[in-house]
Amino acid sequence: MDTIGKTRAPSKAVLKRKRAETGVGGDKNDGRTAEDPAPEKPVATVDEVRSKPRRAAKAHAAPAIRRSTSASSSSTTSNTIWPASFTTLEKTHRALNLVFTFCGTRKHLATTFETIKTTVEGQIKRELKVEDVAKIVALRPTGINFSFVDEASLDVDVREYEKDDAFRGSAMKSSRLSETVEGNENPVQRAGKEILLFEFLDGNLKRGSQQKSEKGGKASRKSKGDELILPKFSQKQMTGLIEKRNTKFHNAINAFLNRCDSTNDDPEEILEAEAQAYIPKPSTADSLEPKISTLPKSIPKERESISQIINEVKDCVWYTGQIVPDGHRVFDPQEAIYGDLNFILSQNLVNALYNTKGITQFYSHQAEAINGLNDGHHVIVATSTSSGKSLIYQLPVLHELERDSSTRAMYIFPTKALAQDQRRSLKEMMKFMTGLENTLVETFDGDTAMADRNIIREEGRIIFTNPDMLHITILPQEDKWRTFLMNLKFVVVDEIHVYNGLFGSHVAFIMRRLRRICAALGNRHIRFISCSATVANPTEHFKTIFGIEDVRLIDFDGSPSGRKEFLCWNTPFKDPADPSSGRGDAIAESARLFCQLILRGVRVIAFCKVRHKCESLVAAVKYELSELGRSDCMTRVMGYRGGYTPQDRRRIEAEMFEGKLVGVVATSALELGVDIGSLDAVITVGFPYTIANLRQQSGRAGRRNKDSLSVLVGDCFPTDQYYMENPDEIFTKPNCELQLDLQNMLVVEGHVQCAAYELPIRPKEDALYFGKSLPAIAEERLEKDDLGFYHCNQRYRPMPSKFVAIRDTEEDHFAIIDITHGKNIVLEELEASRAFFTLYDGGIFMHQGNTYLVKEFNPDRKIARVELVKVDWTTQQRDFTDIDPIETEAMRRITGSSSRAFYGTIKIQQTVFGFFKVDRRGRKMDAVEVDNPPIIRFSKGMWLDVPKHALDILVERRLNVAGAIHAAEHAILSLMPNFVISMPGDVRTECKVAVKEFAKKETARKRPARLTFYDAKGGAGGSGISTKAFEFVDMLLRQAIQRVEACHCHDGCVECVNSEFCKHANEVMSKAGSQVVLKSLLDIEIDVDALPMGPEQFSPSGIETVILAEQILPRGRGLIENSSVVGGMEVSPPGKSSGEDVDLHSVVKAEP
């Protein structure tokens, strides 16, 4: 194959034919329109490597200031006559555009300057100079890349779409490591010969895959063994993209001339001067210097002020106004406020405080909390992150141990990392306390060796554990723990805000079980201590968790804090002058900002919502460091997320604490208070679901009492853009209230069974712990002995706690084994539910930003073997999820309507049928099929069938049916917390995927017109949340209509039908259609003429994917008609059968 630089562009004759076909390329602006559709997402043909436009322009900041003056895609007229040179320049742009677009249809062509130069000159009838192209770039700097790149980085993949065996085989050999790579360091390729590349950045032709004609038949989701061939591009696609670029450039000239006219400048002289910044230069040692000249040559130990660093970042050539209006807030520093204790500490304890923490006096909130505990009160502290809250639960325990060596204390943390962190801190203090230095302080969790457990139970004075161990091991074995529990004086539950929703309800009953056992042993004097992030109702939440009343709240923060700056940083449009081009890549934007900060000595943590985003950001940061010539810093940035081995996570924590790392990219695993040392800046990549999450993450910065920075980087999703447009709400929205549902009968019964196993139930006395419904539950669900005590039902034995899952943890994990150069070491472990979406033969698995090729995926043995490879692309699974009710267990008529709501068993089937090969710019380059078995699970849920007349109206008005159903589901989901105590994500629905709903060909599955909601937790028996939603379905529907109608947005927003939790980014939505669906379910009259006529702007017409729903019948019994409260559901423990129908406390009626 010819090298890229020598590959010839299409001949002049071929281009003439192409111009004749498309009607494009003349000098006049005939037929040009500003309303051309935005280019569709491309399916790329060339292995793209990120361009380097900053290399030549880095030292010239002037053009960057004027970027916002570029023309938009809407029409811009000139106030003056065009100089001849600008007419000539437009003709040159047209020729470049035509040639580049034509080359884009040829997979083996890369548009280097030498490749396209001759053909363009044939169009413009003169020589094409580098200076000409630089002027074009100066007029549209963000829409064009014109720079020198490494020739090796432009290797063109000329293979056709491949099947699994070919993809895994010899075709990958060239990508494998040719040298030994130690550890997880990302290998850096050596630079080679550089060539001059020209490319448009504002759109690509979309490649659609099609089966070979000889295969025939209807296309299906999964055509095993079918090969994919290269598609053809339509005349309409090419014409639309060419004309759109021409229009943008025409408007850019007009805007430029208007600017020069307003300042009385000579436009030709100004353009000549500005173009100098865009004349590319090879990256020799001399030319690299301007690119990094604004950065320190090494990471400084002492950084500049945050304000100065922000100004330096804003001076970068790539800064184009990303900080949104009113999105830069400054919070003044706060001086420390101190308080005194009302009792005397021993000299031992005073010495320990000074030697380990340098403490000589207490902040006011510390003193108030410690005094309250000393006076016998329960205490909750709700102050800022890094305000010294841990001292509040360390000092009283040590003080009590000095007075009474039999004292026991239990520290409960939501994660093992937090427990280990606090154990280290406490043991460090005890080293300086004579008499306590040998006191046994140990962790008691699932990793504790069986041989050590007896010693810890008998000799331990302080144990660090979690709610799971208390539930599964400690309380069921109360007879072995009696000495410990009789002497238990302090129970510390840190990060109490984590115990919310369903998980919080479980923990509340675990605490009641603990109190009940201790009271039976004569211990009624336990003091409970909790710390929390700032929430709206800390006292009420504390009381609900522990079931106690005497609570002292400390929420005035006396700790000092440095100056804090907050930035709302919006990812710019791909073409800043054209909003229709869409937002750029938030990951790349975050990586750029991340590197600018760490290279200036700022210690940074970046938070991502999900694991794959975390890995993508680590890879992007390393790539950016390489681009900046700072590959030496790559080893000082690491990822931190679930799935890493405990050893790796402890090592990362230690290296961050010791200052060896300057940056960490994490999921919410580090949102909690693990001590990783002082941090200067937090970057939150995309809005993190709730304001509370954002504030918790933001609080991780500023632990040195120095100035700090927090940045929210806006992604393309509606929720992100809502807060970018309304930054005030980030600071003014009230803190969320924490809610627990102690009336959820599934939760109550589960813990009553556990409590009855631990100690026999006495209904009247124990109602103090389990509520007024306990006598009825005991009579119906427990087994009564001759003495009148109630015991655990036999169906829950031998260990009822094993049948009561308090959170969604998975026992099955897949081991990912690194076989690079014969290593055979476990890289990490992955939950079974994630494995099928992450691991598939030929796919790319990412770990610490490095790319690993999956060589073998063995579901039976639960292992995957991976090999480290050097590629600049990743893979994205192709999957679908079918959510279907399969059995009706109850139904209820909707008040005032002929429609019904149904409740029963839901089947969730998820299938991964292939993957895309995706380059750095998100372009799909290959489509590969895999043959993985589907993942099937069951839950409980409710559903509503959309009436036929509603579907008829939607079809008549050409409104997207799937979008209407999807929007209605979101509207109902968003209102469930008004009626059912739940957390976001506790109940889910089937979110619609644009690629399927807007398809131009028939889909294999037509989905019923149905609104479906199911419990995401609780296994096959559900969590009970959808049961309560079913009870309030009438009010849910009416409030949903009111919310949608009251919202003044046009197409839907987070205030009505969009959801920040939609896994498909709210792409398939019809706000108008949702009103049709909701009103039809309530038999409310619909004004058809008032509805808009589709297709809607974001819902193009396509093949209909929805059909009329058929009623789901019960299995072997009459249908349950329910018109009252649904509760008291009995579900057999997993793996056991009661032999009875589910009892809904309802009247069973035959369906007429």
DSSP codes of every residue in 985-1041: TSEEE----HHHHT-SS--S-PEESEEEEEESSSGGG--SHHHHHHHTHHHHHHHHH
Average pLDDT over the chain, rounded to an integer:
80
pLDDT at 923 over 70: yes
- As given in the structure block, the two tokens for residue 701 are 């910065």
pLDDT of res. 570? 96
Cα–Cα distance, 699 to 703 (Å, whole number): 9
What's the sign of the alpha-carbon dihedral 301, 304, 307, 310? negative
- As given in the structure block, the two tokens for residue 789 are 């005590």
Helix, coil or strand: residue 586: helix
pLDDT of res. 1055? 76
pLDDT at 328 over 90: yes
Among 166-170, 760-764, 943-947, which is the least confidently predicted range? 166-170
pLDDT at 840 over 80: yes
Q: Which CA distances in Å does 953 have to 576, 958, 966, 1083?
A: 39, 8, 16, 14
Please write the tens of the pLDDT for every residue from 418-442. Answer: 888 889 899 999 999 998 989 999 9
pLDDT of res. 428? 92
Q: How many helices (H) and strands (E) does the chain have?
A: 36, 37
- Which helix (H) or strand (E) segment holds residue 268: the answer is helix 267-275
pLDDT at 1124 over 60: no
How confident is the model over 716-737, as a mean pLDDT? Answer: 85
Look-up: residue for tokens 């990060």? 495
pLDDT at 335 over 80: yes
pLDDT at 290 over 90: no
Among 124-138, 357-371, 649-663, 981-995, which is the least confidently predicted range? 981-995
Three-state SS across 384-431?
CCCCCCHHHHHHHHHHHHHHCCCCEEEEECCCHHHHHHHHHHHHHHHC
Question: Which has the closest alpha carbon to 875: 841, 925, 916?
Answer: 916
- As given in the structure block, the two tokens for residue 245 are 């670029």
Please write the tens of the pLDDT for every residue from 81-113. Answer: 899 999 999 999 999 999 888 886 664 467 888
pLDDT-derived band at 234 (thresholds 50, 70, 90) equals: low
pLDDT at 1093 over 70: yes
Share of the chain above pLDDT 90, in %: 45
pLDDT of res. 579? 78
Q: Output the pTM of the full model.
A: 0.71
pLDDT at 485 over 50: yes
Please write the tens of the pLDDT for every residue from 997-1035. Answer: 666 666 667 789 999 999 988 778 888 888 888 988 999
pLDDT-derived band at 1099 (thresholds 50, 70, 90) equals: low
Residue 177: CB atoms within 10 Å: 13
Cα–Cα distance, 366 to 531 (Å, whole number): 11
**Higher pLDDT among residues 98 and 533, named by residue:** 98
Cα–Cα distance, 871 to 1050 (Å, whole number): 43
pLDDT-derived band at 584 (thresholds 50, 70, 90) equals: confident
Cα–Cα distance, 347 to 1126 (Å, whole number): 61
How confident is the model over 1034-1055, as a mean pLDDT? Answer: 87
Cα–Cα distance, 657 to 331 (Å, whole number): 26
pLDDT of res. 683? 97
**Peptide bond preceding 1095 in cis form (omega within 30 of 0):** yes
pLDDT of res. 390? 92
Cα–Cα distance, 526 to 409 (Å, whole number): 9
Max alpha carbon distance in the chain (Å)?
Answer: 107
Q: Which CA distances in Å does 752 have to 183, 235, 501, 774, 775?
A: 50, 70, 19, 8, 11
pLDDT of res. 1000? 61
Cα–Cα distance, 28 to 14 (Å, whole number): 21
Q: Which CA distances in Å does 163 have to 224, 227, 501, 914, 942?
A: 9, 7, 46, 10, 41
45 and 110 Cβ atoms separated by less than 8 Å = no
Paired with 210 in beta bridges are: 229
How confident is the model over 894-899, as a mean pLDDT? Answer: 92
Residue 1001: CB atoms within 10 Å: 10
Question: Which has the closest alpha carbon to 419: 646, 614, 604, 608?
Answer: 646
Please write the tens of the pLDDT for every residue from 178-191. Answer: 333 334 444 333 33
Share of the chain above pLDDT 70, in %: 78
Which residues 6+ apart lie within 8 Å of 237 measured at CB? 40, 205, 206
579 and 573 Cβ atoms separated by less than 8 Å = yes
pLDDT-derived band at 213 (thresholds 50, 70, 90) equals: very low
**Higher pLDDT among residues 282 and 69, named by residue:** 282
DSSP at 673: -
pLDDT-derived band at 543 (thresholds 50, 70, 90) equals: very high
